Amino acid sequence: MDVPVVNGSISGQPHVFGTKGRRDDQEIPLSWDNDCQEFKGAYAPSGSGGPDEGSRETVAEVTLRDVALASGCSVATVSRVLAGTRPVGAETVRTVRAAAERLGYRPNHVARALRSRTTGTVGLVLPQITNPFFPSLVRELEHALHAEGRAVLLADCDDDPVTEAARIGAFLGRQVDALLLIPVDERRSREAVAAAAAQVPLVLLDRGCGPGVADSVAVDNAAGMALVLDHLAATGRRRPCFVGAAGTASAAVERRAAYEAGAAALDPTAPGRVELGDFSVAWGRAAADRVWPSRPDAVICANDLIAAGALQRLRQLGADVPGEVAVTGFDDIPLAGLADPALTTVRQPVGELAAEAARLLSRRPAAADPASRHTVRLAPQLVVRGSSVPVDAAADATAGG
Amino acid sequence: MDVPVVNGSISGQPHVFGTKGRRDDQEIPLSWDNDCQEFKGAYAPSGSGGPDEGSRETVAEVTLRDVALASGCSVATVSRVLAGTRPVGAETVRTVRAAAERLGYRPNHVARALRSRTTGTVGLVLPQITNPFFPSLVRELEHALHAEGRAVLLADCDDDPVTEAARIGAFLGRQVDALLLIPVDERRSREAVAAAAAQVPLVLLDRGCGPGVADSVAVDNAAGMALVLDHLAATGRRRPCFVGAAGTASAAVERRAAYEAGAAALDPTAPGRVELGDFSVAWGRAAADRVWPSRPDAVICANDLIAAGALQRLRQLGADVPGEVAVTGFDDIPLAGLADPALTTVRQPVGELAAEAARLLSRRPAAADPASRHTVRLAPQLVVRGSSVPVDAAADATAGG
DNA sequence: GCAGCATGGGAAAACGTTCTCCGGAAACTT
DNA sequence: AAGTTTCCGGAGAACGTTTTCCCATGCTGC
């Protein structure tokens, strides 16, 4: 459909450069001052006279050299004052600071990066930003990283290992200081990840990528699954079944293994009742159809998407949730709280994951030594909602590790 | 003195990189957007199975100078060959290319940025990545931008204009080539946005920020609302009501205005039935309580979150959806297809929004002139699902995701 | 008085590109 | 044959920092 764009150009012709009176909280307009009568002869063509009526369009950047000139000392000194790399006389510090502020000096990160060989930038590479679990993780990572003054370069791989490798390469070419990576595939991502890890600090997030490849931080899937099983057992469920995902992704494998281990305690035949598909709502719906005939009293899903699909389909099939059957998810994505009834699930400690990842990244020592790889597992939290216990009893219990 | 670099020793080594299948038909890249593409060898997993690997550790970067030395010509020539900025003799091109590939040369983006005063980086600043409408937009933007060789710096503002201003400033300090911005607040973001727009190309996305401040691209909210109203009228609804958001955000205002304009045609008293809160599920639930007593036959919501809440609550109140009352949303976030019944909604042309934004960014001309601001409005698409028509009739106008 | 040593500051060399000059040679003009 | 243009290629100057030397001082301790 090529419905034409309603391409209207907002008019706004009358007021062009107004707004001169009420700009009191504005910072100093970096351009001219009587001290530095000699500015940017180089490429500032509009050295036209006049008191600069505020056309701050392409004002040439103020450089260290300008500040040096204005404060009567050398570039080196100015750098030292501003970067604090070496003690400088109190008096000098004062003049330099003043000049810098007066001129509105802003350091050029690119030049700094070139010289100091560190860009203050980390690349964040993830499979699909549209996976509903990722946004909150991205958010926390962004906050954690920005808090230490680093900027985040984002890449979305479209769930494709080839794209992933390309993005990693692009980031490396841009000399990121480090990489944060949620691998697309445990196996097919390995090669590119290992290669990248040899060049910059790299932390794997949420999913693993084979042993010894890189540092990694993730939720303790086994503990999470145990929380779910304990809760279900405590509320009298005896015939659980598991709806998970096939494949080698660590989350899929670990959650399934943990279910099988834990469910055996509940019911010796339970570990057999396992259906595997993928991490999607559609699979959740399909799995419900396959599972419901055997009348389980708990459907434990490997993530919230599956759970949402299963829940929806179960109700369509006439099942009473949670009366007849409980449904649980994993991750606590926003959707979980919105389902009807709201999903009991395992909340990932997103903030801590981000903090831990940031911490690992900052570790200076050359972590090229495979022996020093760290794998951090963080404790999740059970969030009990209506899908596993009747509403009146669902007091949103939270149980930590 | 550090470990000697790759500098001198050119030949004699059994080069690690197999020069397999040299494609000599390769054109000299004329634009800088796809340059380094061909040098994947540098970071690519060193030929799985290659004889010696470990040597690829933290080797000092190969520079232009190294390539020049190895190929027996000057740095300038190498630069020209690789960047394709000026024609170079065929013979020279060949030797240089060979040397570059053999040494695994990868251009240093930082140095390039410093010299050419362009980083190939755009900053993407948004209110909250956790807002479910944004991830797909971010995804499209990332793809569009990466496709032209630009990297995306991401910032999440936590819905706070102050943080937003700080992030914008940080990006400017990192000399992004341009800014893509979804303003937090139409009014409170304005100052920072205007200041930034004076320094780099800036495109507003999804939401406006006052007239003439910057280029902007967004969905045509009025057209979207009209699609909804037409659909509802065509299916016999006669007593619509609107649940929207208060405030000055452009989406809120435009959607409400469009409803009021369009609904008057349907029912003269309809424009009065308007409830305003915010763009949240909670408000949707609350609004359902307020609205249901007057028994509307259609609840038109300003976005999908509101609609999801309203839908959920209406059903809890015993309403028959869609038999008794239709519910519609706006945006087509993933949640919309998952609701029960699935939400009829207006799908934003996310891909086109991203493409258009990218296009506007690349416009070279000094867009400082307020008269040349562009405001692009893209046509949305109606997605009919179960919340507005009985299932058997809901032939999902478009294949949902 | 002189070696020894902090301390504060400057000149200039990197960092790895791109790009502007410039010069020489070859290829056309006149 | 002498100019004139075109074509290739090199030297080297930026770009804006950080950092390494180095040189003044002024002070201590002998």
Q: Which residue of B has its CA nearest to A126?
A: B139
Q: Is A135 on the interface with B (CB under 8 A)?
A: yes
Comparison of pLDDT for A233 and B370, the residue scoring more? A233
Q: Do B36 and A315 touch (CB under 8 A)?
A: no
**Is A80 near strand D, with its CB below 7 A from some atom of it?**
yes
Predicted pLDDT of residue A265: 80
End-to-end CA distance of chain A: 53
The verdict on whether omega for the bond into residue A380 sits within 30 degrees of 0, i.e. cis, is no
Comparison of pLDDT for A41 and B153, the residue scoring more? B153
Q: Which residue's structure tokens are 């028994």?
A: B295
User: What are the respective helix, strand and coil percentages of chain A, to the nearest 5?
Assistant: 40, 15, 45
Average pLDDT over residues A54-75: 79
Distance in angstroms (rounded) separating the CA atoms of residues B109 and B87: 22
Q: Which residue of B has its CA nearest to A199?
A: B58
Q: What is the pLDDT of residues A265-318, one digit of tens each?
A: 878 887 778 999 999 999 999 999 999 999 999 999 999 999 999 999 999 999
For residues A191, A197, A198, A201, the Cα torsion angle rounded to the nearest 10 degrees is 180
B269's CB contacts (< 8 A; 6+ apart) are: none
Using a 7 Å cut-off to protein CB atoms, list the covered nucleotides of chain C.
Answer: 7-20
Q: Which residues of B touch A107 (CB under 8 A)?
A: 173
- Work out the pLDDT band at A181, boundaries 50, 70, 90: very high
* Tokens encoding B323: 């038999």
Predicted pLDDT of residue A209: 86
Helical (H) or strand (E) element with B337: helix B334-338
Q: Which residue's structure tokens are 């369509």?
A: A316
Distance in angstroms (rounded) separating the CA atoms of residues A313 and A340: 12
Q: Is B335 on the interface with A (CB under 8 A)?
A: yes
Q: Could you give the angle at the alpha carbon of A119 between the alpha carbons of B30 and A117, nearest 5°?
A: 90
The verdict on whether omega for the bond into residue B322 sits within 30 degrees of 0, i.e. cis, is yes
Predicted pLDDT of residue B370: 61
Distance in angstroms: CA B67, C1' D8: 18
Nucleotide lying nearest to B71, CA to C1' measure:
D9
Predicted pLDDT of residue A390: 82
Counted across chains A and B, CB pairs separated by less than 8 A come out at 193
pLDDT in tens, chain B (401 residues): 333 333 333 332 323 232 233 333 333 333 333 333 333 333 333 333 333 333 334 456 899 999 999 999 999 999 999 999 999 999 999 999 999 999 999 999 999 999 999 999 999 999 999 999 999 999 999 999 999 999 999 999 999 999 999 999 999 999 999 999 999 988 899 999 999 999 999 999 998 888 888 999 999 999 999 999 999 999 999 999 999 999 888 899 999 999 999 988 878 887 778 999 999 999 999 999 999 999 999 999 999 999 999 999 999 999 999 999 999 999 999 999 999 899 999 999 999 999 999 999 987 555 556 667 889 999 999 999 999 998 665 444 443 33
Residue A331 gets which letter from DSSP?
B
Average pLDDT over residues A223-232: 96
Closest CA to A199 of A175, A181, A166, A227: A175
The verdict on whether omega for the bond into residue A51 sits within 30 degrees of 0, i.e. cis, is no
Comparison of pLDDT for A339 and A211, the residue scoring more? A339
Complete DSSP assignment for A180-236: EE--S-TTTTHHHHHHHHTTS-EEEESS--STTSSEEEEE-HHHHHHHHHHHHHHTT
Predicted pLDDT of residue B145: 96
Residue A75 CB burial class (10 angstroms; 0-12, 13-18, ≥19):
middle
Residue A241 gets which letter from DSSP?
E
Query: In whole angstroms, how far apart are CA B377 and each of A4, B133, B207, B344?
Result: 9, 18, 11, 22
Nucleotide lying nearest to A80, CA to C1' measure:
D18
Q: Do B142 and A155 touch (CB under 8 A)?
A: yes
Residues 40-99 of B near strand D (Cβ < 7 Å)?
72-77, 87-89, 91-92
Amino acid identity at B134: F
- Work out the pLDDT band at A210, boundaries 50, 70, 90: confident
Other C-beta atoms lying within 10 Å of the C-beta of residue B401: 10
Distance in angstroms (rounded) separating the CA atoms of residues B187 and B249: 8
Distance in angstroms (rounded) separating the CA atoms of residues A257 and A221: 9
Shortest Cα–Cα distance, B125 to chain A (Å): 11
Using a 7 Å cut-off to protein CB atoms, list the covered nucleotides of chain D.
Answer: 7-20
Closest CA to A392 of A383, A381, A384: A384
Distance in angstroms (rounded) separating the CA atoms of residues B296 and B290: 11
**Is B119 near strand C, with its CB below 7 A from some atom of it?**
no
Distance in angstroms (rounded) separating the CA atoms of residues A41 and A47: 8
**Is A69 near strand C, with its CB below 7 A from some atom of it?**
no
Q: Which has the minimum average pLDDT: A135-144, A228-237, A324-333, A362-371?
A: A362-371
Distance in angstroms: CA A288, C1' C13: 71
User: Rg of the Cα trace of chain B?
Assistant: 28
Predicted pLDDT of residue A247: 86
- Work out the pLDDT band at A186, boundaries 50, 70, 90: confident
Is residue A273 a contact partner of residue A287, using CB atoms and an 8 Å limit?
no
**Is A115 near strand C, with its CB below 7 A from some atom of it?**
yes
Complete DSSP assignment for B54-104: GGGSSPPPP-HHHHHHHHTS-HHHHHHHHHT-S---HHHHHHHHHHHHHHT
* Tokens encoding B339: 């609701």
SS3 for B203?
Answer: strand
**Average pLDDT of chain A, as a whole number:** 83
Closest CA to the C1' of D9: that residue is B77
The shortest CB-CB distance from B212 to any of A12, A107, A281 is to: A12
Distance in angstroms (rounded) separating the CA atoms of residues A23 and A20: 7
Distance in angstroms (rounded) separating the CA atoms of residues B115 and A153: 21
Predicted pLDDT of residue B340: 87
**Is B108 near strand C, with its CB below 7 A from some atom of it?**
yes
The rounded Cα A321 to chain-centroid distance in angstroms is: 34
Q: Do A56 and B198 touch (CB under 8 A)?
A: yes
Amino acid identity at B245: A
Distance in angstroms (rounded) separating the CA atoms of residues B49 and B35: 28
SS3 for A9?
Answer: coil
Is residue A103 a contact partner of residue A67, using CB atoms and an 8 Å limit?
yes
Predicted pLDDT of residue B247: 87
Q: Is B183 on the interface with A (CB under 8 A)?
A: no
Closest CA to the C1' of C14: that residue is A115
Closest CA to the C1' of C20: that residue is B76
Q: Which domains does chain A have, with CATH numbers?
A: 28-42+58-107 (1.10.260.40), 119-219+351-378 (3.40.50.2300), 221-348+381-399 (3.40.50.2300)
β-strand partners of B243: B275, B301
End-to-end CA distance of chain B: 59
Distance in angstroms (rounded) separating the CA atoms of residues A301 and A307: 5
pLDDT surpasses 60 at A221: yes
Predicted pLDDT of residue A370: 60
Q: Do A132 and B129 touch (CB under 8 A)?
A: no
Other C-beta atoms lying within 10 Å of the C-beta of residue A135: 23
Complete DSSP assignment for B295-336: --SEEEESSHHHHHHHHHHHHHTT--TTTT-EEE-SB--HHH
Other C-beta atoms lying within 10 Å of the C-beta of residue A28: 11
Q: What is the pLDDT of residues A353-370, one digit of tens each?
A: 999 999 999 875 554 566
Q: Which of B174, B305, B352, B353 should be substituted to probe chain A, the one whose Cβ sees the most A Cβ atoms within 10 Å? A: B174
